[in-house]
Amino acid sequence: MALSNSERQRRFLERRLGAGGRYERIGCLVSISTKRNLERLSAHFGLAITEIVERLINEKTTTVLQGMNDSEKQEFFEEKERVRKNKF
């Protein structure tokens, strides 16, 4: 018997999000203009929106880490909030 669409989707998500999976969900609301820009970037580079978001975050992380000393990097990876405001 063929699987229903919802059953296929459930199994797909279990493989990716379950124990040992490679992915985690994130959720956020963004302005309409930000969403349109994300869609434009996706179309321009021929990448999925997920790939664009991952690249932007990973590129920014690399840039931020390059400007840090060892103790700042340790705080960063421990996800400690910084007291002072940093420029993004």
Residue 61 resides in a domain: yes
For residue 39, what are the domain limits? 5-18+25-77
Residue 62 resides in a domain: yes
What pTM does this model have?
A: 0.74
Residue 41 φ/ψ, nearest 5 degrees: -60, -45
- pLDDT mean values, one per 10 residues, the chain (88 residues): 88 80 88 98 97 97 94 88 67
Residue 71 resides in a domain: yes
Overall domain count for the chain: 1
Contact 58, 51 (CB under 8 A): no
* Residue 61: predicted pLDDT: 96
* Residue 1: predicted pLDDT: 74
Residue 85 resides in a domain: no
